[in-house]
């Protein structure tokens, strides 16, 4: 889609046909755009960890059972993972401003309702709506950066900041959740981010330009959206409940696979304007970046929860102490995300991704080798945790740069939604699979050693962390083989700019054979 010739010569062509700040700019508008993107990422990622600490208190007050309590997390996760791809496409169709305001507004409203509810059913409904709001919001936070900061080195730095803020949210969640639950009550776990959401909506309406009416609006593939959302929900639900292995799990898995199969056929043959044009996967940067992100998500996102459970189950930590025990790793995650931008610029995104993934794999392997009933927290958790915390979080920036670069401007929201879908879905699947693996190994050890519970649990967590390390090691190998290499003297991989683009020239003036 060609940009309007009425725009100023330095304006960038956005997928939603809005005008961005000049390339390389670091003025007030650029700072506000970065702040909006980071605020959206922070509240969404914070929610993934802050609520889990409050689950016991929620169960007591609202009357959840042991079987229904996990749905406080699952209702959010299913809605979020299932709607992310749709959220990315809606950003392309209706514009970043409208979808940011809608997503943040819905997310904030649902959190407010969640803190006020008086029944379990209302809380689950609020959590599902919150997941939908997060799915509309998260792709916009990424596409705001990839369409505003188009100079490769600057984009890498901004994505590093975005990842660092997300890492801070993930690390702060257990600590903030524990403090609020103990001192103010579980309802404040939901209220804490409401002021951020309200302020972000006000700033977004003032700063983000509306979608231009001069550019034709693409159609929304409604059938494709229904098929992919239902298919992803079915598969994620089945994996979450894989340990039960009953008829509902198998039927959900089968339905999800069939629906995704029909979705692919619909995209390839029937849809006039597909939700996911399959040709986007012909871009090496997009396909390789999403595969590496899939493996990274499978191995990494379960680690905070597994470590918290290990410290509580094996060493008897309280939830608050377990959250504090993860805090040094969270600091390492923040440092890794901050360092990732300069590392990507210096080494190129492929080398930075390989190095970070292998460093994360080494740290997780260290946890697997050192944890045990009589193991020291410092040597078995904190020290190897610092290594995997730094490495895994540093990997997100180069992978994100690679997977969202070289994409036609009108598909930036799609690329962002696709990557976020892979990231979040892989995290949910990884947690479910590794939890089942840990429980199975623990049960086998317990049966063979006459009910030795603590050692059985420790061996289960060892197996889970070993599998996590293997996922990250494979991710590093695939990144080395499949991700595009670095240009000579560029300091950033070729995937960080349109194929054939010369330094200093606007992206929209450089035709890309690979993206046609």
The pLDDT tens digits of the residues spanning 121-131 come to 999 999 999 99
Lookup result for tokens 């990839």? 146
314 CB contacts (<8 Å, ≥6 apart)? Answer: 371, 373, 454, 457, 458, 461
The pLDDT tens digits of the residues spanning 200-251 come to 999 999 988 887 666 666 677 888 888 988 888 888 788 777 766 678 888 9
Give buried/exposed letters for 299-330 (b at 16+ CB in 10 A, else e): bbbbbbbbbbbbbebbbebebbebbbbbebbb
| Nearest-angstrom CA–CA distance, 433 and 292 | 18
510 pLDDT higher than 80: no
Q: Do residues 337 and 440 share a domain?
A: yes
Percentage of residues in the chain with pLDDT exceeding 70?
A: 86
Q: Do residues 150 and 76 share a domain?
A: yes
- In a domain? residue 215: no
Q: Do residues 258 and 238 share a domain?
A: yes
In this prediction, residue 271 carries a pLDDT of 84
463 pLDDT higher than 60: yes
Q: Do residues 96 and 228 share a domain?
A: no
Q: Do residues 197 and 243 share a domain?
A: no
Q: Do residues 238 and 193 share a domain?
A: no
Q: Do residues 446 and 358 share a domain?
A: yes
In this prediction, residue 490 carries a pLDDT of 36
- In a domain? residue 395: yes
In this prediction, residue 50 carries a pLDDT of 85
Q: Do residues 165 and 247 share a domain?
A: no
Determine the structural domain holding residue 336 and report its residue range.
Answer: 28-210+275-499
Decide if 257 contacts 289 (C-beta within 8 A).
Answer: no
492 pLDDT higher than 60: no
Specify the pTM.
0.75
Q: Do residues 385 and 450 share a domain?
A: yes
- In a domain? residue 5: no
User: Who has greater pLDDT, 53 or 63?
Assistant: 63
Q: Do residues 61 and 192 share a domain?
A: yes
Closest by CA to 470, choosing from 371, 367, 390, is 367
What does the DSSP 8-state code read for residue 368? Answer: H
DSSP output for 451-498: S-HHHHHHHHHHHHHHHHHHHHHHHHHHHHHHS--BPTTTSSBGGGS-
21 pLDDT higher than 70: no
- In a domain? residue 15: no
The pLDDT tens digits of the residues spanning 268-283 come to 888 888 888 888 888 8
**Distance set, CA 41 to CA 143, 144, 163, 206, 252 (Å):** 12, 12, 8, 19, 30
Number of structural domains found in the chain: 2
Q: Do residues 160 and 258 share a domain?
A: no
- In a domain? residue 2: no
- In a domain? residue 298: yes
CB atoms within 10 A of CB 502: 9
Q: Do residues 291 and 226 share a domain?
A: no
Residues facing 493 on adjacent strands? 486
């Amino acid at each position: 889609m060609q940009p309007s010739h009425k725009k100023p010569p330095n304006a960038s062509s956005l997928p939603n046909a809005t005008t961005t700040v000049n390339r390389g700019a670091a003025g007030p508008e650029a700072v506000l755009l970065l702040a909006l993107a980071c605020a959206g990422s922070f509240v969404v990622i914070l929610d993934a960890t802050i609520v889990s600490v409050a689950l016991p208190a929620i169960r007591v007050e609202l009357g959840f059972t042991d079987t229904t309590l996990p749905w406080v997390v699952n209702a959010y996760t299913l809605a979020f993972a299932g709607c992310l791809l749709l959220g990315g496409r809606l950003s392309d169709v209706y514009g970043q401003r409208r979808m940011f305001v809608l997503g943040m507004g819905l997310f904030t409203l649902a959190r407010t309702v969640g803190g006020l509810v008086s029944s379990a059913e209302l809380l689950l409904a609020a959590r599902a709506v919150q997941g939908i709001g997060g799915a509309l919001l998260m792709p916009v936070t990424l596409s705001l950066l990839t369409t505003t900061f188009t100079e490769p080195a600057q984009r890498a730095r901004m994505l590093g900041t975005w990842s660092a803020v997300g890492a801070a949210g993930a690390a702060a969640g257990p600590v903030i959740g524990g403090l609020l639950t103990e001192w103010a009550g579980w309802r404040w776990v939901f209220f804490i981010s409401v002021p951020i959401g309200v302020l972000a909506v006000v700033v977004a309406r003032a700063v983000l330009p509306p979608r231009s009416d001069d550019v034709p609006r693409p159609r929304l593939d409604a059938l494709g959206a229904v098929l992919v959302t239902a298919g992803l929900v079915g598969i994620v639900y089945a994996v979450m409940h894989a340990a039960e292995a009953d008829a509902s799990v198998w039927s959900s898995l089968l339905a999800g696979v069939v629906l995704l199969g029909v979705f692919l056929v619909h995209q390839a043959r029937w849809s006039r304007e597909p939700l996911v044009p399959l040709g986007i996967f012909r871009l090496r940067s997009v396909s390789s970046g999403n595969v590496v992100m899939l493996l990274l998500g499978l191995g990494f996102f379960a680690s905070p929860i597994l470590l918290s459970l290990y410290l509580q189950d094996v060493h008897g930590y309280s939830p608050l102490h377990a959250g504090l025990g993860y805090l040094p790793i969270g600091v390492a995650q923040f440092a890794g995300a901050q360092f990732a931008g300069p590392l990507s610029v210096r080494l190129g995104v492929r080398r930075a991704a390989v190095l970070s993934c292998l460093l994360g794999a080494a740290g997780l392997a260290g946890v697997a080798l050192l944890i045990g009933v009589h193991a020291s927290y410092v040597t078995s958790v904190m020290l190897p945790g610092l290594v995997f915390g730094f490495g895994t979080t540093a990997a997100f920036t180069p992978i994100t740069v690679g997977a969202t670069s070289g994409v036609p401007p009108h598909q930036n929201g799609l690329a962002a939604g696709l990557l976020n879908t892979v990231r979040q879905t892989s995290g949910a699947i990884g947690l479910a699979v590794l939890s089942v693996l840990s429980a199975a190994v623990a049960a086998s050890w317990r049966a063979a050693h006459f009910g030795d519970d603590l050692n059985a649990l420790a061996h289960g967590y060892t197996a889970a962390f070993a599998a996590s390390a293997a996922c990250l090691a494979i991710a590093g190998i695939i990144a080395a083989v499949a991700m595009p290499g670095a240009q000579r003297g560029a300091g950033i991989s070729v995937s960080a700019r349109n194929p054939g683009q010369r330094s200093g020239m606007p992206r929209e003036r450089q035709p890309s054979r690979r993206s046609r």
